[in-house]
Amino acid sequence: MELSRRLRAVAGLVTPGNRLADVGTDHGYIPIYLIKEKKIPSAIAMDVNRGPLQRAVVHISEEGLTEKIETRLSDGLKELKPGEADAAVIAGMGGALTIRILEEGREVAEKMKELILQPQSEIARVRYWLTENGFSIEEEDIVLEDGKYYPMMRVACHTGKMTRQISEHEALRDIDALYGPILLKKKSSCLKEYLQWEQGIKESVLIQLSNASGEAALARRQEVEQALQKNKKAQEELR
């Protein structure tokens, strides 16, 4: 079984030896891959929909892994008990849904050693939420697949401290939230490509707005200009 570049990168963030909970498992590819690679001892594959979960059941059976990968119908982390897994993968969902899953599964998330998150949208909002709720971003990656960039992160959970007050040095800057503090620190080449791509998109939008009039057009132009400034600031840090 071959994983896509995105899923392989997500799987690569899981710490070997951890028992895994795969939230929104779909076909069950990540737990199957990690078990076959002997990276993890066991997994619980969960999905809110019966169709995808049944596909996962079939794939797990075909690989002869039914004793190592349990399947559960679950909305987020709701059917997982605290301490049943050391790590959770929450990938391929929108940022708002990712946050909802963590908020509703707070008791379970607090007991995890790590979370592997790959939000499909609103990633800055996710990073802000994590920092404000006692999580720390430990590692990040970004990959290009089929013309789309996918950022992802491994997050450490601080048991019992999810609502603690964060210190000034832990607070995220805007460009950290947008582009990833670890990716910026590592001077990620893929992030650099993404920033150049994003810059081109925003500059094209500004050209389209250059002759537009009205308050809405002005507000939109200012918004894009501010975003472009943050983009260029991030590019400067990668040089």
- 3-state class (DSSP) for residue 145: strand
d(CA 95, CA 93): 7
pLDDT at 98: 98
pLDDT of residue 212: 83
**In angstroms, rounded to a whole number, what is the distance separating the alpha carbons of residues 44 and 112?**
14
Mean pLDDT of 146-156: 97
Residue range 131-157: average pLDDT?
95
Residue 167 pLDDT more than 50?
no
Owner of token pair 């990959």? 143
Question: According to the model, what pLDDT value does residue 170 have?
Answer: 59
Q: Is 109 strand, coil or helix?
A: helix
Q: What's the pLDDT at 171?
A: 75
**In what helix (H) or strand (E) does residue 23 lie, and over which residues does it extend?**
strand 20-23
Q: How far is CA 166 from CA 103, 104, 163, 170, in A?
A: 18, 22, 9, 6
Q: Report residue 110's pLDDT band, with 50, 70 and 90 as the boundaries.
A: confident
Model confidence band, residue 210 (pLDDT cutoffs 50, 70, 90): confident
Q: Which helix (H) or strand (E) holds 228?
A: helix 215-238
Among residues of the chain, what percentage have pLDDT more than 70?
94
Residue 65 clears pLDDT 60, i.e. is over it: yes
pTM listed for this prediction = 0.92
Q: How confident is the model over 33-56, as a mean pLDDT? A: 97
